[in-house]
Structure 1
């Protein structure tokens, strides 16, 4: 999900079918076998890389998937023993159709770290969901040549036996026919079927896995009639039956649709890695902490039991949870929930009890250690602002939410229940924190004032940002349709002030 402008319409192979179905540290058990996490860094104040690596170790997480090959991140992982999937962003794929460029990339980002006590690199992710329907074919002609060149460069550098190149793909690259939407009829999407067959046959030859991102949450997000229980792992009254096989959750159904597509392409035994799977906690009515906790509890039990899926039973599935921490600078084009996927908050604090071992214990994750915060100061609406200043409130809220994260104010979100003044204060404070509390960032043409009194409510947290690391700096956030909806929800109540 990180770095992708994924649209709700491309989420799960079974949206129509489901309509028919209607319906810390010390003392922790090891994480479930095969369990990893996605570590994204699209944040105004990213956590220090060494603190993140320590947090992975404290929680017994031994695998991590990245979205680039940032030197600070890689250096922090050196010597940790954590297994790494390092990544090549989509905007580099065209360059890597040239073998010399691919060789240079491998030298700089793989060989540089591959030594005793270095980084334990296992995979190179070539692109991130490059065949999304919403990308309109931008990367169709460059992804496979880049994949081939990277694997060849890994082989030539002596890494090919232990490091494999793969392509993380969204589940929209396969589907079932509209008149028979069951897993056994799964095939690769018709417009890319030939290309996908070439890619999976190449992976089969090189020993690389197929990497797929599966998001049951997005089924609910895109379809109010989707049966809620089918998104989780604790049973449903309306299972989907396929040739005598009962599917009680959309994850298994989606995964087995891919298994069928691989079989149809002649590589039925190709290993599958789930590159992203998770549940957000804010930004939508279904993005709730209790739902996330329910989803992960079921998923982790399944992984710990090596249950597999009906078409691949009794085997462990390698899974990377999405994601480790919230990222307040992600694009919200797919939805406001994009900034709230973390199993931990922006500051590395747990959101809810979560037992990574899958044994069902009511335990908290180990938090990030040694995190330093900005002073306990907030920026809020000035209660004695002049009428002239109040006439400019709309433009100022718009400005604040362009350069800071206001997604928690949207419909169905944690801060949606505040009054108009609270909404404005939230927006002003979000900007103030992103700007590291510099005095000038709490002006807003006389509308704002600093306070030492915490304006948070039981449901809505007014953030105090962490101290910026070397990589932390204010980030301009793009206003999209989803972000505009948040702004409108604030501005429509301005008249009551």
Structure 2
């Protein structure tokens, strides 16, 4: 009898798929040492692939300018290191809004005509490992940003959200029905939820199924990748065939227990890495992304008619400046490589057509730096280890695409990574005389020795500068008002 109830519940859940559309967007990060020109990304990739929604980490003016008059809905971010200042000063918040929203937004005469939909205050400020570094300031900063938006026509229609990592939720044995917010966040979450409810804004959660899988003993790789499994997670009469649905319903349970049963959910970041660790492969990423896109046709067992408002795929491009504490695997979440070439096929809005990559990429010459086998390489490993503290060697990790390289191939990979990072400067392939520049591609199988691109000027966000300058001037003139 119990098995029959589970089967009926699961079949009903499957039948609801396809009835409700969830809007898909992408997270466009620019933490790359050789970023593509923003116009190549906006016009050449987002528009050509019919991507209608994008989230960016900050409010970089060059990125926003490239999104002008594209019709793409944009979520702009406020970096964590600005939260304390914005929490303390309404004036600082007004300056930030004027510089980063009002002058770009649709309907502002003479401005860039960017369709800004949300301001995301902070990047997972309640992340547990950050302790109280940002958490005490996030809601206050969000309140001041919202007040500044309300006073700035036409910015007043922009909603304010605070993206949270899924670690704000705790469960008992991973059962979604037991989901609740972390005890240390009880007061803060109460304030945040009231703030979101007052403006009709969604709760934004970032979900990393790959990381959750590494830390969980409940879920399998098949469940994380949306593949059929003979042992789905059963929670009462609800059946969970995939990890993502369980996470979403854990949040739904937490919201219900906090008195916000009907609050919408939006997924701010979700993706799968293609390199840097075991199971971080192109094949698994394609399986995950295809499963996610299929999943977006409906709701969850707890919310069959109320799916997430939107999902932002993390990430559009690989970013080699990421990787805090994860051995660099976060550098490989892009659907596209750092130079804008599709890694696999997935429908991001373009339908059945192949993904369109960046066109006209200005590559550096076809040259690579390797360890010179004719020299004494006794100190080569030490040199390579030193190089990897600066360059991206994450593909050499166990399970990575270059993890099977033997010495001195792994040394050559490290040398080349540094050489390309330095724009192929002549003296960047010396390494005490044991480096050698070659025009023969040293790539082996799936291990690709990359060639860099001539990067555009690094993204130059003026957000923090404007706020800090205004804060300093106000402080010096004793005109600061703390709200």
Matches within 5 A, 1:96-111: 96-97=86-87, 98-111=89-102
Contact (CA 8 Å) 2:226, 2:288: kept in 1 or not? yes
What residue in structure 2 maps to residue 113 of structure 1? Answer: 104
What residue in structure 2 maps to residue 25 of structure 1? Answer: none
Contact (CA 8 Å) 1:327, 1:339: kept in 2 or not? yes
SS in 2 for 1:184: strand
Identify which of 302, 318, 325 aligns with 1:326: 318
1:183: Cα distance to partner? 1.3
SS in 2 for 1:175: strand
Which of structures 1 and 2 has the larger relative contact order (alpha carbons within 8 angstroms, sep 6+)?
2
SS in 1 for 2:398: coil
Report the Cα distance in structure 1 between the residues aligned to 2:349 and 2:91, rounded to whole angstroms.
43
What residue in structure 1 maps to residue 457 of structure 2? Answer: 470
Matches within 5 A, 1:53-452: 53-54=42-43, 55-97=45-87, 98-116=89-107, 118-159=113-154, 161-177=156-172, 181-223=174-216, 226-303=219-296, 305=297, 307-317=298-308, 318-357=310-349, 361=352, 364-385=354-375, 387=376, 390-452=377-439
Deviations for 1:95-120, whole angstroms, at most 9, x for unmatched residues? Answer: 00111101110011000101446110
Deviations for 1:9-43, whole angstroms, at most 9, x for unmatched residues? Answer: xxxxxxxxxxxxxxxxxxxxxxx751000011111
Report the Cα distance in structure 2 between the residues aligned to 1:134 and 1:399, rounded to whole angstroms.
27
Report the Cα distance in structure 2 between the residues aligned to 1:159 and 1:313, rounded to whole angstroms.
36
Report the Cα distance in structure 2 between the residues aligned to 1:241 and 1:224, rounded to whole angstroms.
15
Report the Cα distance in structure 2 between the residues aligned to 1:356 and 1:374, rounded to whole angstroms.
29
Deviations for 1:163-188, whole angstroms, at most 9, x for unmatched residues? Answer: 1010000011111245xx42122111
1:301: Cα distance to partner? 1.1
SS in 1 for 2:103: helix
1:250: Cα distance to partner? 1.1
1:419: Cα distance to partner? 1.7
Q: Structure 1 residues 118, 138: closer, same or farther in 2, change over 3 A?
A: same
Deviations for 1:240-259, whole angstroms, at most 9, x for unmatched residues? Answer: 22220111111111101111
Contact (CA 8 Å) 2:300, 2:307: kept in 1 or not? no
CA RMSD of aligned residues (A): 1.8
Q: Structure 1 residues 358, 364: closer, same or farther in 2, change over 3 A?
A: closer
Contact (CA 8 Å) 1:297, 1:358: kept in 2 or not? no
SS in 2 for 1:128: coil
1:472: Cα distance to partner? 7.5
What residue in structure 2 maps to residue 11 of structure 1? Answer: none
Report the Cα distance in structure 1 between the residues aligned to 2:113 and 2:251, rounded to whole angstroms.
35
SS in 2 for 1:165: strand
Report the Cα distance in structure 1 between the residues aligned to 2:85 and 2:459, rounded to whole angstroms.
28
What residue in structure 2 maps to residue 41 of structure 1? Answer: 30
Contact (CA 8 Å) 2:381, 2:411: kept in 1 or not? no
1:402: Cα distance to partner? 1.7
Unaligned runs of 5+ in 1: 1-31, 474-497
More displaced stretch, 310-319 vs 145-154: 310-319
1:219: Cα distance to partner? 2.4
Contact (CA 8 Å) 1:44, 1:472: kept in 2 or not? no
Deviations for 1:350-394, whole angstroms, at most 9, x for unmatched residues? Answer: 1012123597x5x53110111110000111111211x3xx23323
Report the Cα distance in structure 1 between the residues aligned to 2:278 and 2:407, rounded to whole angstroms.
20
SS in 2 for 1:309: coil
More displaced stretch, 154-163 vs 212-221: 154-163
Contact (CA 8 Å) 2:55, 2:312: kept in 1 or not? yes
Report the Cα distance in structure 1 between the residues aligned to 2:402 and 2:217, rounded to whole angstroms.
22
1:223: Cα distance to partner? 4.5
- Show structure 1 runs of 4+ deviating over 6 A: none
Q: Structure 1 residues 212, 472: closer, same or farther in 2, change over 3 A?
A: closer
Contact (CA 8 Å) 1:301, 1:358: kept in 2 or not? no
TM-score normalised by L of structure 1: 0.84
Report the Cα distance in structure 2 between the residues aligned to 1:224 and 1:383, rounded to whole angstroms.
45
Contact (CA 8 Å) 2:30, 2:459: kept in 1 or not? no
SS in 1 for 2:388: helix
Report the Cα distance in structure 2 between the residues aligned to 1:100 and 1:340, rounded to whole angstroms.
39
What residue in structure 1 maps to residue 473 of structure 2? Answer: none
Contact (CA 8 Å) 1:151, 1:160: kept in 2 or not? no
Deviations for 1:384-440, whole angstroms, at most 9, x for unmatched residues? Answer: 11x3xx233233112221221001011110001122021111111111100000100
Report the Cα distance in structure 1 between the residues aligned to 2:349 and 2:134, rounded to whole angstroms.
38
Report the Cα distance in structure 1 between the residues aligned to 2:429 and 2:102, rounded to whole angstroms.
47
Aligned residues: 433
